[in-house]
Structure 1
Amino acid sequence: MGVSKSLLSHISDGYTKCKDGCRWLSRVEEAEVKVEKLKNSSSQEIGKLCLGGFCSKNLKINDEFGESLTKMLEEVSTLTNEGEFTRMTGTILEDRPDERPCETMVGSESTFHEVWRCLVEEQVGIIGLYGMGGVGKTTLLNKINNRFREMPNDFVVIWVTVSRSLQLENIQNTIGRKIGLFDDSWREKSMEDKALDILRILSKNKFALLLDDIWEQIDLKKIGVSPPSSENKSKVVFTTRLIEVCGKMGADQQFKVECLRNEDAWDLFESKVGDVTLNSDPEIPELAELVAEECGGLPLALVTVALAMARENTPEEWERAVVVLKRLAHEFSGMEDQVFLFLKFSYDHLPTDTIRSCLLYCSLFPEDHSISRKGLIDCWISEGVLDDRNGIQNEGYRNINVLIRACLLEEAENNHVKMHDVIRDMALWIATKVEKESGSFYVQTGAELTEMPEIEEWENVRRISVIENKIESLEIIPTCPCLKTLFLNNNHLKMISGNFFQSMPSLKVLNLSNNPSLSDLPSEISMLVSLQHLDLSGTAIKELPQELKSLVELKCLNLEHTCQLQAIPHHLISNFLKLQVLRLWECGSSNEVAEASVLFNDAESLVEELLCLQHLNMLSINLKSDHAFETFFKSKKLQNCTQSLCLQSLPRQNCLKALVANLKQMDTLKIMDCKCLAELQLDCSGEMGRLREACGFRSLHTVNISSCPKLSDLTWLVIAPNLKCLVVSSCSNIKDIFCDKKISDIPEKIRKTIPFAKLEFLELQQLKNLKSIYWNAMPFRHLKEIKVIGCPKLKKLPLDFNSAKERKIDIEGEQDWWDRLQWVDPVFSTLFQKFLVRTDD
């Protein structure tokens, strides 16, 4: 007992502030364990003594015990002497972190200040910094590390570079070195013992653990780190490319590190190229801006390209750089080994080959192209990237979300996504040079092509994309036995030769959309016997040829925005027995419709044919007659698979009660020219849980209602919690958007939800009797724009301080209307005046 006390008498808080002291204390605690063992064994030996209590009956044990005791006394003596030495000479534990190399920050200062502001708040313990590879996350973490050097020495700052292959013991070793535990005995310890040693030291210190480049959750307790709390006031900051890691790490705050804005990107690029090069020829600065634009604001690409161009002082070299970066980015100096290989880690880390194929497919679209989620999933299904089974649409959306969370795709407006230009270049490099897809991708988008290019190896190509060119005709006869996807959309097509399709037996996806001068299809399209996806949206097609009946494998047919379509032969649609996706939004909306067409008589025959499609799971449609409407709403299946619905000119419908029942997938609703419509009624019968499950409005994000003169309110929108866009126009009888009397009839759980929680755009036009939107102020956390025109009786807007918190809301309206608005507090008028955009200027 005396030995242990003599050891512990040397322990003081001061020892936890020096590396030698930390190591010494760890050895002291180990010695304590040994002393306790000797004490226990000594009491056992006393009972075995002979010769008057001076000798053990077992001479061998007597010698071993004596030898252990002697060694223990020597160890205690050594620790005591070292303790005195450590007390005098121990170096201060390096609270001041090692300075990290840190470039001058360009464009991300505001993010740094936000992060630092959170770090000084006691309630924020764990912070995650996420973003695509090369965006500057490590630079930001370096800056945080160096800022700690400027602070008082009250944090032990520990930097750990984690990397892709997570090795918890390596993290422990890095921490051990930093806090003075790493020596020969440390190497022999188990992970559990190392964790205990780290915990002993860090529990006596306020620490900041900086983890760079983590790809999966790190169990802090397993490595000996107590999670930060308001009691220990410690911090953990980490960087990752995967937003889901922020959740798994329990981040109190997470910050997305974005690419640089154009001005900041140019400043970074300019600083790396240097004035000497930029001023060597008057043409270079303008060309240099074009080169910088190709980097999409990604710091890694900007620096790599800028350094490669730093000594190029002729306009010709800069012009070539623009062309190479646009067409063959992987051939540009440094892009492959310094940029693409670095970004490829994100691709390699994707959980399945299917999701990797989904990413590569996205590279077929042009730079900065807004890609429809629906259209993308349709292509994946038809080409076979996704397995054909139940729930396949949901799998498609899940895959898109995985790519977004991995920062390989970006959210865009109106249910679209985008792919960053450099990520796209990387994906094309993988598809054409690295993976098994090598040689099978041909992509020339936005290349000013006026005719279909000659491809050297037509026989091997599997995917061709020539989107956004100026091709007017297709007259060549390519032989493409392996071709599966052909994107010809957004061109100037007027004519397609019948022979063009004759040697494409494997083609599954054909996109001819947004060719506004394309009015006819050749009958030879029937030769595409494997075709599963045909997109004719946004064309001037007047008639679908009868020969399309041969396309018996068709799963997806898109005829949206084909306003000039006059004829769809009877029994053509019903012939596509495998059809899963049919898009007919604004199809044949002109008045010139042939009698021998299912579009005749307001498409009543079309709705009848839809009932034959047993595999249909996605539908967009316009209903223009009472008969079509009634037939449609008698079919639960058609309602369940409807995604976009337009109700137009329904003369007898005065109450649309059926809408609440089955439209589970509906995301877009348009109602126009329904002169008798007085009410969209909520059916709240049955249990609350059943109503919530049954109502289709949880998917609803866009509503457009116009020219319904008897409609008095839109109270039913209270069960559309995810609504993003609402446009209401020329409904002269509407007095309230939400009627408080009707809301009182709605079940309490729904009634308590605040409407418009996700609304981004609100447009109210020519509503001469509108008096109220909502009776209380609404937080409008996502609102971007309000447009009010021709609503003279609307005297109040449901806005307050919270509505404009840290956000700009554009308010369009006449000055006279604005001046007559009434506010709960006059200061609100001043607050929102700066957001007003006058429409009467």
Structure 2
Amino acid sequence: MGNIFSISLSLDPIITRCSDCATGQASYICNLEDNLHALQAEVAGLKELRSDLMSRVRIAEDEQQLKRLNQVEGCLSRAETLINDADQLIVQSPQHVENLCMGCCCSTRPRSSIKFGKKIAKKLQEVKDQKKNGDFCGVASKPPLPSATERPSEPTVGLESNFNKVWSSLQKEQVGVLGIYGLGGVGKTTLLNQINNKYHDITHDYHVIWAVASQDRPIERVQDQIAKRIGLSIEGWKSIEEKAEDIFQVLCKKKFALLLDDLWERFDLTRAGVPLPTQENGSKVIFTTRSRDVCCQMQPNMDNNFRVECLPPEKALKLFEEKVGSETLRMHPDICKLAEAVVEECAGLPLALITIGRAMASKNTPREWEYAIEVLRQSAASVFPGVGKEMYPKLKFSYDCLPDERVKSCFLYCSLYPEDHLIEKDELVDCWIGEGLLDEHANLSSARNQGHFIIGSLIDACLLEKEDKYSVKMHDVIRDMALWIAGESEKEKFFVKSGVQLKEQPKAKKWEEVTRISLMDNQIENLTEILECPNLQTLFLGGNDLKVIIDDFFNSLPMLRVLDLSSNMNLEELPVGIAKLVSLEHLDLSFTRIRKLPVELRTLVMLKYLNLEWTRDLEMIPQQLLSCFSKLQVLKMEGCGYGCLLVLEEMEHLKYLKVLTLTFRSALELKKASRFNKFFSCAIEHVCLEDFRDSRSLNFMALAKLQYLCTLRVLRCMDLEEVKIEHNIIEGARCFHSLRSVILEQCNHLRDVSWVTFAPHLEELDILECKGLEEIISEEKPGEVTELKGNSDLFSKLEILRLCHSLKLKTIYHHALPFPQLKEIYIIGCPMLKKLPLNSNSAKGQRLVIVGDEGWWKDVEWEDESTKIAFLPSFRPSIFYEMLDID
């Protein structure tokens, strides 16, 4: 029995297992091995399917720039999970297979085997299902366009204020088109980058599009960039019009910001398919250009055009130090100071600061830095790495875009003047005329107008800087670039050593090739060697200490057309050899101490321009000499010591004379002058009345009739008490029509200057040391002034008013005036002038500056409190203006 019992006990587990197999779960054990083999096969197939799908996705993403579909992403993710899970089950399977017995229909661990078998069966079905769902016709599509794409940029120095102004303007609803202009290399593109990235960082309202305009086919190229940015295919487009239609259909439904970099001409937004920005659509167009003219054409409202200026000294130094590196600057205690001199020569232009800063990063001795300063001062910066190959070519694009060779030559001519030199526009144009750079015109006025038009074009191209309405200047780096261009040219050969403290006549290797020489603003005393320049056309020698010019100096200059000897205050005599300059058309002897003109000048029959202004020592001009200059068009003699009446007699024979400036030294002389035809037929631009001693009352009738008179000086007329203008002259339509500037100095008995109210376009009024003057416009005469002009027109064009050291002056005008153009008032040494003709509406909208003594300013009596509040910020103490040359 015991044995039987024992057997029955040993059979219980088997019976239990067989009982389990008899249930519905037995199949998980019986089919385990088959399911495992099937799972391995299906997983292998899923892996192949996943690999093929991934290959298709990579091609779509990498080559076609598409984005994978979400369902494809989900499929790949699920397949990855299934494969990982299945691989883990397969790895675990051997131990479960070992538990199988009785032909794999039973297990020694039935519960574990059933559980594992369930997992295998389930995973097998999931893999099969995944394979069925993994068949895709397309795996990717075009990605949604981001609102803005961030652009790479470096940290900037000094552009913060520019950015803040531009960004602030862009926030205004009424601003749709905004221009940014300035010199090449000044930071316009960097500023546009910052605007792009600002849009990227803070707003998703705008679809931001960046496009670079090219000089070649700008519309087509910008259209292609816009199309790419908004997801349009450019394939199949045949014309600008077709592109424009497609672009317009997309952009008219978007609020966009189009950033156009580097425009060289007006860009026609409509033709390109860009909807014009309006307050309704809220879109923006922001562009950069080197040309102010392009700005005006794109956006006539100049309030919405911003000029990027060069960096101020402290910002310029910071940028330069960043590029040089602090380690180099610490190599020697002198280098920091020398670095400041290098920065000064770069004149705040970021491109120059960066390029030269990098070039100096390896220079760690003071001598290397001293050499760099010397090179920069001699306008030879092309020796620096990156300047001649990178910096100048970038700047030269502005030069290349000038309309023709004439304008290019006029631009290069400006580099003859020294660094930071204020170039008078009229002087420059007269030199261009003398050189023959302008068109042949029927009259001098047309030629001058063309010259001023070219100056305007150069200002618009940011190749010249407007200093004031009378003068321009050239940025130091632009000047260096111009000299580099001239040096590379086969046709233009310059020798320029202006403002470099030369004490002796310089030498050059190839004088015969030189076409223009400038030795202005040096300390040369003697010219003792013959200048052999057979092709020379312009010679600038002004602003030196010349005493001696040998007679033979001019012997070998047969082509010379322009000669400037002005501002040589020690030059008392001209060499007779000047007669050899048979091609000379322009001769400037102003501000010299020459005592006579040599009779040999008769040979200068081509002369068209002669400037003798402020040659106070000139006492003798040989008879009939001036009449020998039969082609003379311009004769300037204001401040000349030689009597004007003798000149006027000869001028009657100069049929081409058009422009004249004169000085009269008595009322009788002025009266006699009005009898000459040339006095009224010429364009008399400047008149000086000086040292009158023969009259207490002066009639300005003759002067009032001068159609082109723009400057009138009345100097040291000590006895003059009153100026009269006859009533019939006052009523004339063109009384003092062109008069822009009046200077009265040391007229101690003059009581008022009411006559200036009849100069409708007066812009500058200077009254200096008129110690008896009590009022500008007399209260006894306002009746006729008001009757003819009306208070609102008085001084309506006045920009500058200077009143200095007129001790009795009490009144400017007895009522407040609007002064719509007034910019500067100087009142110095006028202690009795307590009230100004200002109210809260005067100079409204203008940035008025009032310069005066602090004690005087405290005692000013204001019309009301609002006027006082309005003008208190305008005051500047006169201590800062004591050295101002107000003449």
Residue equivalent to 1:162: 213
Q: Aligned to 2:258, what secondary structure does the other structure show?
A: strand
CA distance in 1, matches of 2:726, 2:316: 53
Aligned CA distance change for structure 1 residues 341 and 681 (closer, same or farther; 3 Å): farther
Aligned CA distance change for structure 1 residues 786 and 151 (closer, same or farther; 3 Å): same
Residue equivalent to 1:538: 591
RMSD of aligned residue pairs (Cα, Å)? 3.0
Q: Aligned to 1:267, what secondary structure does the other structure show?
A: helix
2:297 matched to 1:248? yes
What are the within-5 Å matches in structure 2 for residues 326-341 of structure 1? 326-327=377-378, 328-341=380-393
> 1:417 is matched by which residue type in structure 2?
V
**Scaled by the length of structure 2, what TM-score is found?**
0.78
Tell which structure's C-alpha radius of gyration is larger: 2
Assess if the C-alpha contact under 8 Å between 1:757 and 1:781 holds in 2: yes
- Gap regions ≥5 residues in structure 1: 1-18, 22-84, 589-598
> 1:403 is matched by which residue type in structure 2?
L
> 1:135 is matched by which residue type in structure 2?
V
What are the within-5 Å matches in structure 2 for residues 213-228 of structure 1? 213-228=262-277
2:341 matched to 1:300? no
Deviations 1:228-270 (A, max 9, x none): 1111121111111111111211344111111111111111101
CA distance in 1, matches of 2:747, 2:261: 58
Residue equivalent to 1:659: 703
Aligned CA distance change for structure 1 residues 741 and 141 (closer, same or farther; 3 Å): farther
CA distance in 2, matches of 1:734, 1:608: 40
1:608: how far off?
2.0
CA distance in 2, matches of 1:174, 1:637: 64
Residue equivalent to 1:678: 723
Q: Indicate the larger mover: 564-573 or 285-294.
A: 564-573
Q: Indicate the larger mover: 296-305 or 498-507.
A: 498-507
Residue equivalent to 1:772: 812
Assess if the C-alpha contact under 8 Å between 2:582 and 2:606 holds in 1: yes
2:509 matched to 1:456? yes
Deviations 1:643-676 (A, max 9, x none): 2111234535533134333332524544651615
Q: Indicate the larger mover: 805-814 or 258-267.
A: 805-814
CA distance in 2, matches of 1:262, 1:393: 37
2:570 matched to 1:517? yes
What are the within-5 Å matches in structure 2 for residues 680-695 of structure 1? 680=725, 691=733, 694-695=734-735
2:686 matched to 1:641? no
Assess if the C-alpha contact under 8 Å between 1:129 and 1:239 holds in 2: yes
Q: Indicate the larger mover: 317-326 or 170-179.
A: 317-326
2:551 matched to 1:498? yes
1:558: how far off?
1.2
2:227 matched to 1:182? no
Aligned CA distance change for structure 1 residues 605 and 190 (closer, same or farther; 3 Å): closer
CA distance in 1, matches of 2:296, 2:346: 30
- Gap regions ≥5 residues in structure 2: 1-64, 68-136, 883-887
Q: Aligned to 1:800, what secondary structure does the other structure show?
A: coil
Residue equivalent to 2:252: 203
> 1:648 is matched by which residue type in structure 2?
E
1:718: how far off?
5.5
Assess if the C-alpha contact under 8 Å between 2:839 and 2:867 holds in 1: no
CA distance in 1, matches of 2:852, 2:550: 50
> 2:272 is matched by which residue type in structure 1?
I
Deviations 1:682-741 (A, max 9, x none): 757779xxx3xx455346245445516355343544644361453354163553438653
Assess if the C-alpha contact under 8 Å between 1:772 and 1:794 holds in 2: no
CA distance in 1, matches of 2:728, 2:807: 26
What are the within-5 Å matches in structure 2 for residues 4-153 of structure 1? 91-95=143-147, 97-153=148-204
2:798 matched to 1:746? no
Deviations 1:396-450 (A, max 9, x none): 111111111111111124712111111111111111213522xx21111223222
2:737 matched to 1:697? yes
CA distance in 1, matches of 2:594, 2:789: 48
Aligned CA distance change for structure 1 residues 702 and 827 (closer, same or farther; 3 Å): closer
Assess if the C-alpha contact under 8 Å between 1:774 and 1:798 holds in 2: no
How many residues align structurally? 735
What are the within-5 Å matches in structure 2 for residues 554-593 of structure 1? 554-588=607-641
CA distance in 2, matches of 1:261, 1:647: 43
CA distance in 2, matches of 1:695, 1:330: 55
1:101: how far off?
2.5
Assess if the C-alpha contact under 8 Å between 1:759 and 1:783 holds in 2: yes
Residue equivalent to 1:264: 315
Q: Aligned to 2:698, what secondary structure does the other structure show?
A: coil
> 2:387 is matched by which residue type in structure 1?
M
CA distance in 1, matches of 2:659, 2:598: 23
Residue equivalent to 2:396: 344
Q: Aligned to 1:294, what secondary structure does the other structure show?
A: helix
Assess if the C-alpha contact under 8 Å between 1:443 and 1:464 holds in 2: yes
> 1:112 is matched by which residue type in structure 2?
F
1:214: how far off?
0.5
Aligned CA distance change for structure 1 residues 153 and 433 (closer, same or farther; 3 Å): same
Residue equivalent to 2:752: 712
Assess if the C-alpha contact under 8 Å between 2:816 and 2:842 holds in 1: no
What are the within-5 Å matches in structure 2 for residues 358-397 of structure 1? 358-389=410-441, 390=443, 391-397=446-452
Q: Indicate the larger mover: 733-742 or 602-611.
A: 733-742
CA distance in 1, matches of 2:648, 2:223: 66
2:405 matched to 1:353? yes
1:325: how far off?
2.2
Q: Aligned to 1:423, what secondary structure does the other structure show?
A: helix
2:645 matched to 1:604? yes
> 2:540 is matched by which residue type in structure 1?
F
> 1:205 is matched by which residue type in structure 2?
K
CA distance in 2, matches of 1:183, 1:381: 52
CA distance in 2, matches of 1:126, 1:830: 33
1:745: how far off?
2.4
Residue equivalent to 1:755: 795
1:609: how far off?
2.1
Q: Aligned to 2:282, what secondary structure does the other structure show?
A: coil
2:479 matched to 1:424? yes
CA distance in 1, matches of 2:574, 2:312: 44
CA distance in 2, matches of 1:112, 1:512: 47
Percent identity, please: 39
Q: Indicate the larger mover: 787-796 or 467-476.
A: 787-796
